[in-house]
Amino acid sequence: MRAHPRYFLQAALAVPFAVSTSVAAGVDCIDYAAYMHRLGSADTPGYASGVAAAGRFAYVADGPAGVQVIDVSSPSAPVIVGSLETPGEARAVAVSGSGLFIACAGAGLVVADLSSPVSPVAVACVDLAGEACDVAVSGTLALVAVGDSGLAVLDVTNTGAPFVAATLLTPAGAQGVAVQGAYAYAACGRAGLLVIDISHPKSPVVVGVAAAGSDAAGVAPAGSIVCLTDRLAGLVLVNIGEPGSPFVMGRVETPGTRVTADGECAFVAGLGAGLFVINISNPEHAKLIGRAETPDTAEGVAIAGAYAYVADGRAGLHVIAISNPASPATLGGAATSCEARGVAFSGGLAFVAEGTCGLAVMDISCPSAAAAVGRVDTPGTAEDVVVSGRCAYAADGSAGLQVIDVSNPEAPEIVGGVCAGGYAEGVAVAGGIAYLVDGSHLRVIDVSDAAAPHVVGAVAMPGRARAVAVSGVYACVAASSSGLVVVDVSRPASPAIVGTVETPDLAVGLAVAGMRAFVAAHASGFHVVDFSDPASPELAGNVPTAGAACDVSIADGTAYVACGDAGVEVMDLSEPGAPVMIGAVSTPGRAWCAAAGDVLCVADGSAGLTMLPAQCGVVGASPIAIRGAMGTDLDGSRPSPFGPGGTVISFRVRRDGRATVRIFDVSGRPVRLLLDRVLEAGEHLATWDGCDDRGRAVAAGVYFCRLRTAHGAASRRLLKSR
C-alpha cells in the first residue's frame, strides 16, 4: 500500500548504519518511548550549525541569521523566544556564566551578555584574521579555532573588553577545539589531534600530536580519552593519559562533524546521518548503541541532562530523548532475491513483493531464523502485496494484478491475473473485491473467482494513484500531488470520487481505521485525515518525519511509518487527531513498506525483510483505544498505579479458546506469565502481585500487560509504585 521507491530522490549520503544490538529471546513487544528518539523541533530562519544548552534555553548558531534563543523547558515543543544578530555567520556557540561566546566566521569572536537570557546583547567583537569556526571557554579563557589561521587564545576576564593573549599556527588549520584542565585539544584536519598546554595562556605550547585521520573536525575530551570526529574516518578515540604521547585506542566508523561526551557515551553529529551514540567505556572496543535520524545535516550537538540538542542545518534545532541512549534492536531478517518493495503477513508467514523477482514467502515464526520457503516469479514487477484467505494479491507493475494461491507456502502458484493498463503500484482487498491503483485509475476488480478476476469498474484519479486502502464503502487513494482522494465504492461497477484533500507534499502511502486515513506524505511526514464527512475530508494532525514518509501501517493504536533511509518511526494514536512520535529505529536498508501486527515486518530495500518488535500497547491510552482488537479486549487494571498489594487486570475474550496474559518490562523482556489456558468467551480477571516468575518483587516502574488469543492481541500499560 505504498509507492515504488524508484520515484523517490535518493539521499546524497546513504549511510547503512543500523545499530548492532540484539533482542533477547522471548521478547514480544517493547516500549519504543523508553529508547532514544526525537521529541520536538524548532525551525530556525538560518542554517543551524552549532548549539549550546544552559538551563531552560538552547542557543543555536544559525549561520546568517545569527544566534537563536530557544526555550526548551518543554522538550516536545521548543520555542524561539529571542535572537541576536551577528556581524558574520554564526558557526558555533559556547555559554559560560552570563556570557555567550560566538564563533562568527570572518567576523571573529562575538561576546554577548546573557543577563537577560531571551535578549542577549553583544558587548564585544574581536577580529581574529581568519574564519572562526569553533569556540570553547574555560574560566577566563576563550579558545577559538580559526581555520587556516590556527588557534586563538583570548583573555575574557572582562567580557566587555576581551583581547587576544596568543595565537598558535597549527598544521592543516584548526577546525574544532575543546578544553579540559590545563590543556586544549584541537581538531586539525589531516594533522589529526593536537594537545596544547595552555597553563601559560600567553605562551601555548603543542605537547602532543596524534595522527588520527585525514579530516579531523570535532573534539571532546572525556577524562583520559579524547573523542575526535573525522569526516572520513569516523569517531577516533585517543588516549591522552600522557599528554605528550597521545595514541589512538579505537575507532568507530560513523560520519561526523561535531562531538560531545557525557559519562560512558560519545554523541556524534552525523553529517547528514542524524545523531549517533557510541559507548566508549571500553575505548578499544567502542560500540555504536544508538542512532536518531534527523531531517537534515546534523552539524552540531550539545547534551544537558536527559536530552541531546542537535543543530540540524536547514531543519533548525531538534531535541532528542537520551535517558536511555540505546536504539531498539531488530528481531531478525531474511535476504530477498531482489529489492524488497512491499510486504504483508499472515499466520507466521511474510509475503514480500520483490520487484522483478516476483513474490517470496518467508517463514517468520522464529524471527531470528526467518527464511524463504517459497517463491513465484510474476510477469511484471511486484510492487505491493496483500493477503486474504488462501490467496495473495500482487500489484505487479505493467502486468496489473496477479492472484497467487499461497495455501501451500512452499509452492505458491499464480492462478489468475488481469491487466487493465497503467502501472500497478498498490492493492487492497475487501469482501471478494480487489482495489488496484495503477497511476491513472483506481480499478475495482472482482476476485470472487481467483482463476478469473475481472474489472467491474474504474474511476480516473486527479493525480498519480500510488496506494489504496479500504474502509467500509470507501476506498482512500494516495494520489501524489492531489493528496488523498475518497472514493465511494458501494456500487463496484460505478466507483465515484466524493472528496479530496491536498497534503503538503506527495501522498504516497496510507492506512485507514474507521473514518480516518493515516497518510505518508513524503517530505511533509505523517498526516491524519478525518473523512467522517467523505465529501469534505480534513487534515486533522501531522508529525514531521526525519526521512521521506512512504508507507504507514496501523496496529493496536500505534502507527508505524516507513521512512526510507531514516528507517521506521513509531506514532502514538491515543488521540488520533494529535499523533505523537514515541520512538524510531534505523533499519539496515531503506524502509519502503511496513506491515504491523504481533511483530513489525519491513520491506527494507536491498536489505530484504527486516523484523522489529511491536509497540506494547498505547502509552497513556484509555481502555476504549484498545477495545475491539481482533476479538480481544483488555480493559485495564485496578488499582493503577499499584503498590505491594498488586493489581487486578480485567479483560474479555469474544470467542472460546486459549488465552495468555503475560507481563513485560519496557525493554520487551517477559516478566511474569499470569494466565495460559482455554477460556470461555466473556469477562475474566487476572491478578499480578508485582513479582516475576521466580517470585521476586520487581522494581517500581512501567510494565506492560499483553493479552493474546488465537484471534488477536492487545496490550495495556501498568505502573508499579514503590
Q: Is the pLDDT of residue 517 over 50?
A: yes
**Backbone conformation region of residue 191, classed left if phi is above 0, alpha if psi is from -120 to 50, else beta:** alpha
Per-residue model confidence (pLDDT) at position 355? 97
With bands split at pLDDT 50, 70 and 90, how would you rate the model's confidence at 627? very low
pLDDT tens figures, 520-571: 999 999 999 999 999 999 999 999 999 999 999 998 889 999 999 999 999 9
Predicted TM-score (pTM) above 0.75? yes
Enter the DSSP assignment of 6.
G
Cis before residue 613, ω within 30 degrees of 0?
Answer: no
Per-residue model confidence (pLDDT) at position 637? 54
8 Å CB contact between 510 and 520? yes
Per-residue model confidence (pLDDT) at position 127? 96
Per-residue model confidence (pLDDT) at position 718? 81
Mean of the per-residue pLDDT values of the chain = 89
What's the rounded Cα separation, in Å, for the pair 687 and 648?
4
Q: What residues contact residue 231 under an 8 Å CB cut-off, 6+ apart? A: 215, 217, 255, 256, 257, 271
Instruction: Please tell me which residue, 517 or 6, carries the higher pLDDT value.
Output: 517
Per-residue model confidence (pLDDT) at position 249? 95
What's the rounded Cα separation, in Å, for the pair 40 and 37?
10
DSSP assignments along 314-327, one per residue: TT-EEEEE-SS-PP
8 Å CB contact between 517 and 529? yes
pLDDT (mean) for 625-649: 56
What's the rounded Cα separation, in Å, for the pair 638 and 431?
40
Per-residue model confidence (pLDDT) at position 220? 97
pLDDT (mean) for 70-89: 95
- Cβ atoms within 10 A of the Cβ of 620, count? 13
Helix/strand/coil percent split, the chain, to 5 = 0, 55, 45
Q: Is the pLDDT of residue 691 over 60?
A: yes
Show the cell assigned to 219. 573534539
Show the cell assigned to 217. 573536525
pLDDT (mean) for 221-248: 94
pLDDT tens figures, 446-471: 999 999 999 999 999 999 999 999 99
Q: Of the candidates 34, 38, 26, which has an alpha carbon nearest to the alpha carbon of residue 703?
A: 34
Q: What residues contact residue 563 under an 8 Å CB cut-off, 6+ apart? A: 293, 545, 546, 547, 548, 549, 550, 569, 591
Q: Which of 137-146, 343-352, 425-434 has the lowest mean pLDDT?
A: 343-352
Per-residue model confidence (pLDDT) at position 638? 53
Q: Which of 14-23, 286-295, 415-424, 586-595 has the lowest mean pLDDT?
A: 14-23
Show the cell assigned to 610. 527486516
pLDDT tens figures, 6-27: 222 223 233 344 454 444 444 5
Q: Give percent above pLDDT 90 in the chain.
A: 73
Per-residue model confidence (pLDDT) at position 709? 75
Per-residue model confidence (pLDDT) at position 710? 64
pLDDT tens figures, 265-288: 999 998 888 999 999 999 999 999
Q: Is the pLDDT of residue 64 over 80?
A: yes
- Cβ atoms within 10 A of the Cβ of 160, count? 10
